């Protein structure tokens, strides 16, 4: 079951969020051979998606999603939905986090 985590992203800035995955007994979930995918959309059925870059720290059970300033500058301010899913080395897909992403407008422009 995915955790709920609402995030805030300032337009034109670099952002990074890290999630620590654990087994039911509290031990670190070893992510050897796993892949991750994460997207942001205006609403669940929207065909337009913004993809996060994902990085997995296999031995420490960490999944990091990020976007650089160029990517966040191109997202219109407002409320969006996002999630992150991992795929195991056997092909099992699990959603690890989901929530509302609020894009806050940028004032300073270069």
Domains of the chain (ranges; CATH) run 3-104 (2.60.40.10)
| Percent above pLDDT 70 for the chain | 98
**Tell me, what's the pLDDT at 1?**
66
Please state, in angstroms and rounded to a whole number, the distance separating the CA atoms of residues 10 and 6.
14
Q: Please, where are the H alpha helices in 7-68?
A: none
Q: Write the secondary structure of 20-33 as one string of H (helix), E (strand) and C (coil).
A: ECECCCCCECCCCC
Residue-wise pLDDT tens digits, 56-95: 999 999 999 999 999 999 999 999 999 999 999 999 999 9
**Tell me, what's the pLDDT at 109?**
73
**Tell me, what's the pLDDT at 36?**
98
Place of tokens 């939905």: 81
């Amino acid at each position: 079951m995915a955790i709920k985590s609402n995030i805030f992203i300032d337009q034109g800035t670099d952002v990074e969020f890290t999630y620590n995955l654990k087994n039911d007994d509290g031990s670190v979930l070893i992510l050897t051979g796993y892949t991750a995918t994460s997207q942001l959309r205006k609403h669940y059925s929207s065909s337009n998606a913004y993809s996060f870059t994902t990085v997995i720290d296999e031995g420490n059970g960490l999944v990091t999603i990020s976007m650089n300033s160029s990517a966040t500058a191109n997202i219109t301010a407002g409320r969006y939905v996002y999630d992150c899913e991992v795929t195991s080395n056997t092909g099992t897909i699990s959603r690890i986090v989901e929530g509302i992403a609020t894009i806050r407008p940028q004032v300073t422009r270069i």
